[in-house]
A = this chain, B = another copy of it.
C-alpha cells in the first residue's frame, strides 16, 4: 500500500501500450499532476505538445486481461489560477442550418480565459469580460476529462476519442470521490490520466471545459477475474455505466446493456427484474458529444437498488 509521489517528465497523446512511467502494486496510491489539454502545467508553461497529453501510463502489478482495474479518484484539484475554454458551439450540436451562421473565428481568437478560485469554489470569466455575460461566475466542479487503460491488441488510440478502455469521455460525473472501473485489456492495465476541467457543461459542447492543470491522487485496486465490458463508476448516490461510441443511440445501448449485466451479477436480480427496475428508475447523463466518439452514462440511484 505504498504512496507514490510521481513527477511526470513526458506525456502521451495516445492511450496505448507505451513504456510505463511507473510500476505500482495493487492497493498503491499515486499523487501526481496533469497538464491541461494544450500541454500547459501548473505554471502555465507549455511543457509538452497539445492534444490532451496523458500522465502515465502506470503499470499495475498483477493486472491481466480479463481483470477489472479500480481507480479511486481521491483528489482532482486545479493547481493554477487560470483556465481557458473555446467559445463557439460545435457545429454538430446545432441545427445544420444554424451551423451556417456560426462565427468562423480563427482558432487563436476563439479562447476565453477564466479565473479559477479553489478557495472560493468559483470559476469566473477573466477580464476583459467583454461579452454581455461580464464577469459571469459558476461554481467550481473539477472533473477529469480523459483517462483509461491501454486498449487491446497493442492499439494506441488518440486521446481525442474514447472506447471501451475509457479515453476522452468528458463526463462531469468523474469527480473527486468517485470510484471508476475499467476493463483490463493488457498486462499491467497501463493506466493514463489527464485533461482536467475546473468545470464543464454536459456534452463539452464548445469543445472544452475550463481546461486547467491538476494535482491528482488516486488509489488502484485489481479485481482478479472480474470481467466487465465498459467503464463503470460509483459515487455516494449512484452506480453508473459508461457507453463510448457514436452515435448516441449506441452509447445508450452499450451503457444500458452493461448496467443490466451489473444488476444481474452483483445485485442478485434476474434479467427480467433488472429490466423492470431500469424501466422505472434509470437515469441517463450526456458526456462528450463533441469528439469522434460520444458518451452516454446509464445511472441507477442506490436508494432503489437491492442490497449488494
Residues of A within 8 A of B (CB): 13-14, 16, 51, 85-104, 112, 123, 125, 131-133, 136, 138, 152-158, 199-206, 208-210, 245-250, 252-254, 256-257, 260, 268-273, 275-286, 289, 292, 304, 306
Cα distance A284–B252 when bound, in Å?
14
A131 contact set on B, CB distance < 8 A:
269-270, 272-273, 276
**Would B138 and A281 count as touching, CB distance under 8 A?**
yes
A276 contact set on B, CB distance < 8 A:
85, 87, 112, 125, 131, 133, 136, 206
Q: List 13 A-B contacts (CB under 8 A).
A: A89-B256, A91-B97, A95-B253, A96-B99, A98-B260, A131-B270, A132-B269, A132-B270, A203-B284, A205-B279, A206-B278, A210-B280, A246-B247
Cα distance A92–B100 when bound, in Å?
11
Q: Is the interface of A mostly helix, strand, loop or mixed?
A: mixed
Chain B residue nearest in CB terms to A276: B87
Cα distance A253–B91 when bound, in Å?
9
A93 contact set on B, CB distance < 8 A:
252-253, 256
Q: Smallest Cβ distance from A301 to chain B, in angstroms? A: 9
**Would A87 and B155 count as touching, CB distance under 8 A?**
no
A203 contact set on B, CB distance < 8 A:
252, 282, 284
A158 contact set on B, CB distance < 8 A:
152-153, 155
**Would B94 and A205 count as touching, CB distance under 8 A?**
no
Given the interface pairs A91-B96, A132-B273, A284-B286, the reply to whether A16 lies near B202 with Cβ below 8 Å is no
Q: Smallest Cβ distance from A134 to chain B, in angstroms? A: 9
Cα distance A102–B278 when bound, in Å?
15
Chain B residue nearest in CB terms to A93: B256
Cα distance A289–B92 when bound, in Å?
17
**Would A279 and B87 count as touching, CB distance under 8 A?**
yes
Cα distance A205–B281 when bound, in Å?
10
Q: Smallest Cβ distance from A305 to chain B, in angstroms? A: 10
Cα distance A292–B293 when bound, in Å?
11
Q: Smallest Cβ distance from A189 to chain B, in angstroms? A: 18
